[in-house]
């Protein structure tokens, strides 16, 4: 990003508060415009959320989403990293596969949903698979890019030191490509979450995505708004935490 | 040149091999026709559908929504990017918001949009625009950051006004980045709109797929799926080719 000096932390905090305030005002304004039947007010959504948090069913749905997401993220990361490393090291295979991966990234994968359902059946397997097909591509692309643009001197040094392939990956490639890989994991994290939630929106009887669609079907606007708020806060919070980790431990100095 | 030809040939062989393998597996009965029909049957079904004109209304519905979203995302994202680039204080405040934007699974808002705007093309267009606009904005900011200072100094030497500088120096110089932004906005508009149609709609290609899926009409479903994936891939490929040609001309100049 920009190489400008970091703004003092206090302005950053104030900006975040102002932004949050503006978003709340926008929400309230939309609520006034659209009416109670379409969008609950922030206060009503918070009330509904407090009510929800008191029910065991809500936590069950949260756990279902968390379980599917954790499995999907682990698989996305494993597949994406392995594929990216392999394609990055094999120049020819990388050149063959990169546009295919980029094409896969840009197509509406949601259309593949029926196939996934037919293969995996309703439930956890389909949700996880849907998260994985969304999440592994950016991780693979970022890793591939990082490995490919690595300084060739590093690899030559590894060869001169007679490192084995595993050692090269462990001690040379992984540390050198880490910042890019972490950026890829952050994008993969978001897209995996998106995939899992969309999966829950059609073909699941559990999870936060199911709650949103169910609330819409039952015209329970307060429920829908409260669950969407939960998802947004969780997603933004996780993203902020990942960004912080990235800045604190990966891009030091 | 021969190396890139070899890469292209290998890529084509890989794709053709995959399609052929699928065809053989389906024909041999390893994959049940209830799960997946052979690619040749998909193509035949698609040809039939296109020939009969059954899909025309859906094609126009989806195409119109995509065009409107793309126009809005680019038409609003570009000037917003230019404006924010000129206001560093605002930009610093927006940076964390933009960084968090794509972490939020935008589709969860779709049921709300339908509730506010009604079940028609409007919520789809808003979803597609909301998905693509920040990408266009970030691409614009990126491009404006990379305008060589010497060009700006030249503009000052020639006493160009603010708008003249923008129109004849800054935007042409940032063109590759703007092009990338348009490409992303298009991909995101397609993804957003097909997904929205898939979740909840009364027309469009996404709706046609989910409708056929619900009615167990595998042939229609796979035919429309093939059409959507083919159209999306074709569009991306076309833009990619155009981009490479622009880049080459720029490198020569």
Q: Does A19 touch chain B (CB under 8 A)?
A: yes
The answer to whether residue A143 sits within a structural domain is yes
The confidence score (pLDDT) of residue B75 equals 95
pLDDT classification of A5: cutoffs 50, 70, 90: very low
| CA B190 to chain centroid | 5
Do A177 and A171 meet the contact criterion of CB atoms below 8 Å apart?
Answer: no
3-class SS letters over B39-58: HHHHHHHHHHHHHHCCCHHH
pLDDT in tens, B169-206: 888 888 888 988 998 899 899 989 998 898 888 888 98
- Apex A196 CA angle, A130 and B107, nearest 5: 105
The answer to whether residue A44 sits within a structural domain is yes
What's the residue count for chain A?
253
Residue A152 belongs to domain spanning: 40-250
- CB contact under 8 Å between A110 and B191, yes or no, is yes
Burial class (CB in 10 A: 0-12, 13-18, 19+), A37: exposed
pTM recorded for the entire structure: 0.84
User: What secondary structure letter does DSSP report for A218?
Assistant: T
Tell me how many domains chain A contains.
1
Do A216 and B111 meet the contact criterion of CB atoms below 8 Å apart?
Answer: yes
Q: Does A238 touch chain B (CB under 8 A)?
A: yes
Write the DSSP string, A69-84: HHHHHHHHHHHHHHHH
- CB contact under 8 Å between B236 and A106, yes or no, is yes
Given a cut of 50, whether residue A253 has pLDDT beyond it is no
Residues of A in contact with B233 (CB under 8 A): 103, 106-107
The answer to whether residue A30 sits within a structural domain is no
Please, which residues have CB within 8 angstroms of residue A13's CB and are 6 or more apart in sequence?
none
- What is the sign, positive or negative, of the torsion defined by CA atoms of B106, B112, B113, B114? positive
**Residue B131 to residues B10, B120, B149, Cα–Cα distance (Å):** 34, 18, 32
B103 in helix, strand or coil? Answer: coil
- Please compute the mean of the pLDDT values over residues A180-200 and round it to a whole number: 88
Please, which residues have CB within 8 angstroms of residue A51's CB and are 6 or more apart in sequence?
none
- CB contact under 8 Å between B105 and A193, yes or no, is yes
Residues of A in contact with B36 (CB under 8 A): 115, 118
- Could you tell me the CATH number of the domain that includes residue A148? 1.10.3720.10
Q: Select the residue of A16, A117, A193 nearest B96 (Cβ to Cβ).
A: A16
pLDDT in tens, A137-169: 999 999 988 888 888 888 889 889 998 888 888
Q: How far is A59 from chain B (nearest CA, A)?
A: 19
CB < 8 Å from B in window 153-212 of A: 186-187, 189-190, 193-194, 197-198, 201-202, 209, 212
Residue A27 has which token pair? 């929400």
- Apex A102 CA angle, B148 and A115, nearest 5: 155
The answer to whether residue A17 sits within a structural domain is no
Residues of A in contact with B107 (CB under 8 A): 194, 197-198, 201
The confidence score (pLDDT) of residue A7 equals 46
Cβ contacts from A onto B, under 8 A? 157
């Amino acid at each position: 990003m920009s190489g400008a000096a970091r703004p003092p932390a206090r302005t950053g905090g104030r900006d975040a508060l102002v932004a949050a305030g503006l978003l709340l005002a926008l929400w309230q304004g939309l609520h006034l415009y659209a009416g109670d039947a379409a969008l609950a007010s922030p206060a009503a959504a918070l009330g509904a959320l407090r009510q929800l948090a008191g029910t065991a069913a809500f936590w069950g749905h949260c756990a279902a989403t968390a379980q599917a997401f954790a499995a999907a993220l682990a698989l996305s990361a494993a597949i994406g990293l392995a594929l990216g490393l392999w394609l990055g090291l094999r120049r020819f295979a990388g050149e063959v596969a990169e546009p295919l991966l980029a094409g896969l990234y840009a197509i509406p994968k949601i259309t593949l949903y029926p196939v996934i359902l037919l293969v995996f059946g309703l439930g956890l397997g389909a949700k996880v698979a849907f998260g994985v097909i969304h999440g592994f591509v950016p991780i693979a692309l970022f890793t591939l890019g990082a490995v490919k643009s690595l300084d060739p001197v590093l690899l030559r040094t590894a060869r001169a030191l007679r490192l084995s392939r595993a050692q090269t990956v462990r001690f040379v490639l992984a540390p050198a490509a880490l910042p890019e890989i972490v950026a890829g994991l952050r994008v993969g994290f978001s897209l995996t979450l998106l995939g899992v939630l969309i999966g829950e929106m059609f073909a699941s009887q559990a999870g936060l995505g199911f709650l949103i669609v169910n609330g819409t079907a039952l015209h329970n606007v307060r429920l829908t708004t409260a669950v969407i708020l939960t998802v947004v806060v969780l997603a933004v919070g996780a993203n902020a935490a990942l960004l912080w980790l990235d800045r604190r431990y990966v891009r030091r100095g | 040149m021969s190396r890139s030809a070899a890469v292209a040939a290998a890529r084509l062989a890989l794709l053709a091999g995959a399609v052929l393998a699928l065809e053989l597996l389906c024909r041999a009965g390893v994959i049940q026709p209830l799960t997946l029909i052979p690619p040749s049957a998909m193509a035949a079904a698609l040809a039939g559908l296109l020939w009969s004109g059954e899909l025309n209304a859906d094609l126009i519905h989806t195409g119109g929504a995509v065009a409107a979203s793309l126009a809005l995302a680019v038409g609003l994202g570009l000037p917003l990017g230019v404006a924010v680039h000129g206001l560093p204080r605002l930009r610093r405040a927006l940076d964390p918001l933009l960084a968090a934007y794509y972490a939020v699974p935008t589709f969860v808002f779709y049921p709300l949009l339908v509730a506010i705007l009604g079940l028609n093309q409007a919520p789809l267009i808003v979803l597609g625009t909301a998905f693509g606009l920040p990408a266009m904005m970030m691409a614009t900011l990126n491009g404006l950051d990379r305008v060589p200072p010497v060009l700006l100094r030249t503009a000052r030497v020639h006493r160009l006004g603010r708008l003249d500088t923008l129109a004849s120096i800054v935007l042409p110089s940032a063109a590759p980045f703007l092009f990338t932004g348009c490409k992303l906005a298009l991909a995101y508009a397609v993804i957003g709109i097909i997904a929205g149609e898939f979740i909840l709609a009364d027309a469009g290609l996404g709706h046609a797929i989910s409708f056929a899926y619900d009615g167990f009409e595998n042939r229609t479903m796979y035919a429309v799926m093939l059409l959507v994936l083919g159209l999306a891939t074709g569009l991306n490929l076309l833009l990619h080719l155009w981009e490479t040609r622009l880049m080459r001309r720029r490198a020569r100049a």
